Each structure stands twice: as structure tokens, then as C-alpha cells.
Amino acid sequence: KNEVEQSPQNLTAQEGEFITINCSYSVGISALHWLQQHPGGGIVSLFMLSSGKKKHGRLIATINIQEKHSSLHITASHPRDSAVYICAVTKGAQKLVFGQGTRLTINP
């Protein structure tokens, strides 16, 4: 079993819909990260959090340490949000362990 599990693996939605991507982990962590990867592109860090909730524009990330679970929400989704969203956790000092990613497609 992977230490970091994401669901769903693929998600297709219509423009404007509210999107939720989930991440569960099974190890002790120092921090949890949400990353975005566009097709053929590099990887960009969206959020790093160790408790509570963070918001940036239409993106919201939450984490529940007790339940070892995090969610990434996108409000008023747009086709430009189409990308792979990756959850990763920091174990120990600096090593990241990654989930498999969620491929999000937003149709106009």
C-alpha cells in the first residue's frame, strides 16, 4: 500500500463546478504539499501546510492531522485548471513522498 493515496485518479468536470481532490497518508509527517503539473510542464507548488486550512484565489487546501487526510478544493473551476494535482508529504527532515496524482480535466 502506498504511503500517500490520492482519489480520484481521474476527474472530469464542467466549467464552474466545485472540485474536491482527496489525499490520505499513513505515516507521520512534517508537512503536506499540494503541487500542480500542467501537461508537458514543470511542477509548481500550490500549498504547503501542517495544520488547518490555506486559501489562494479559488484554491483551498485543508488538512486533518488526526485523520491523516487532506483535501484540495477548486471553486468556480475553469478549463485552465486542467492539470495533474499531486499530493506529497514530508517525512523526517527533507524527503518528500508523493501520491500518484489526480488528473483533472475541466470542460468548457
Partner 1 sequence: NAGVTQTPKFRVLKTGQSMTLLCAQDMNHEYMYWYRQDPGMGLRLIHYSVGEGTTAKGEVPDGYNVSRLKKQNFLLGLESAAPSQTSVYFCASSYSINSVTPSYEQYFGPGTRLTVT
Would you tell me which residues interact with partner 1 (CB under 8 A)?
A: 2, 4, 30-31, 33, 35, 41-45, 48, 86, 88, 90, 93-101
Sign of CA dihedral 69, 45, 2, 29: negative
**Cα(96)–Cα(74) distance, integer angstroms:** 24
| 3-class DSSP state of 79 | helix
